[in-house]
Amino acid sequence: MSLMLGIDLGGTAIKSALVDRSGKISDPRSTPTPQGDPQGLEAIKALTDLVKSYQQTASVAGVGLLVPGLVDPENGIAIYSGTLGWRDLAIADLLEAKVGTRVTLEHDVTGIAHAENRIGAAKDAKSAVVVAIGTALAASVILQGEVYHPHPAVGELGHTPTINQRPCVCGLKGCLEMTASGGALSRNYFAITQEHLGAMEIFDRARTGERVAAELVQEFVDVLSTSFVYISALLGPELIVIAGGVSKAGEDLIAKLNEALDQKLTIHRRPKLVLSQLPSGSGSIGAGLLAWERLI
């Protein structure tokens, strides 16, 4: 039986899985993302090795690939990724030439939203916004039951301004994802304490009352909830789905965000905040489903 290979290339890990037409996955894997690779050469090598490894054990009909940043899906080009340091990388053609099977490219959070829309939390919603929070932060809009992504910059919520003037890789200061992302929590905690911790460890310490962790989590919740107010005012979605690694903070994070929204929403339609229920690496599911739709 032929399967699609869905790959979500993130800032720290490459999540991958074989995906059937229904979105059911098999052989999920996580591979470290090459670091310090602005030309994308090491990433292409890692992706090539990964695809060939799957090809040895399964009939891979095609590859769906997700990357962060600005993406040109039609031409298979990663236009810009602050997370990976890439510019104008024709990654779909380069990978396709090395693995001998067709490759389709998409923005990472657009792919995640596609999975949420087809088989996840937004399946029965006419309108939703999926906010994926991992190394960085971005969003995808679902309107009338379909993902809305008319041009590459739609959904770059992480590069909107906040009161916190931390420098961002995009060249500006104060971008949302410099405070409200897993990568930001780790960096900001290290800047104060000189201790390297992952985002989930910082959330855990905040729950125990550790001052630095609690202050950073409060900042996180404050700026993220404010962005939800803008989403609510402009789009009025039924749901805001929180996906990505930070969703592992669970219902405690939802409770904090709802508490903040209690103080910030008035006449707006109140969106229901929900956690993604898809398996870890839901981007690979979306990538595989997109490959089925585009390549077959």
Q: Tens digits of per-residue pLDDT, 177-217? A: 999 999 999 999 999 999 999 999 999 999 999 999 999 99
Kindly report each contact of residues 141-148 with a partner whose C-beta sits within 8 Å and lies 24 or more positions away, as own/partner: 141/113, 141/235, 141/237, 142/113, 142/116, 142/117, 142/237, 143/235, 145/117, 146/117, 147/110, 147/113, 147/114, 147/117
C-alpha 105/C-alpha 59 separation (Å) is: 20
Nearest to 7 by CA among 294, 293, 289, 295: 289
**Which residues lie below 8 Å from residue 206, measured CB to CB, with a gap of 6+?**
213, 214, 216, 217, 218
Letter string b/e over residues 19-30, b meaning 16 or more CB atoms within 10 A of that residue's CB: beeebebeebbb
Q: Would you state the structure tokens that stand for residue 124, as one six-digit string?
A: 């029965």
8 Å CB contact between 189 and 212: yes
Structure confidence at residue 82 (pLDDT): 85
Task: Supply the mean pLDDT for the chain.
Answer: 95
Kindly report each contact of residues 254-259 with a partner whose C-beta sits within 8 Å and lies 24 or more positions away, as own/partner: 256/217, 256/221, 257/221, 257/224, 257/225, 257/228
Structure confidence at residue 220 (pLDDT): 98
8 Å CB contact between 253 and 241: no
pTM of this structure = 0.92
Helix (H), strand (E) at residue 248: none
Strand, helix or coil for residue 76:
coil
Output phi, psi for 67, to 5 deg.
-135, 155
What are the structural domains of the chain? 2-112+280-295 (3.30.420.40), 123-275 (3.30.420.40)
Q: Per-residue pLDDT tens for 120-163? A: 999 999 999 999 999 899 999 999 989 999 998 899 999 999 99
Q: How confident is the model at residue 12 (pLDDT cuts 50, 70, 90)?
A: confident
Output phi, psi for 80, to 5 deg.
-155, 130
Q: Per-residue pLDDT tens for 21-79? A: 999 999 999 999 999 999 999 999 999 999 999 999 999 999 999 999 899 999 999 99
Structure confidence at residue 279 (pLDDT): 82
Structure confidence at residue 61 (pLDDT): 97
Instruction: Give the percent of the chain with pLDDT over 90.
Output: 92
C-alpha 138/C-alpha 289 separation (Å) is: 20
Strand, helix or coil for residue 69:
coil
Q: How confident is the model at residue 228 (pLDDT cuts 50, 70, 90)?
A: very high
Q: How confident is the model at residue 83 (pLDDT cuts 50, 70, 90)?
A: confident
Taking the CA atoms of the chain, what radius of gyration do you get in angstroms?
A: 19
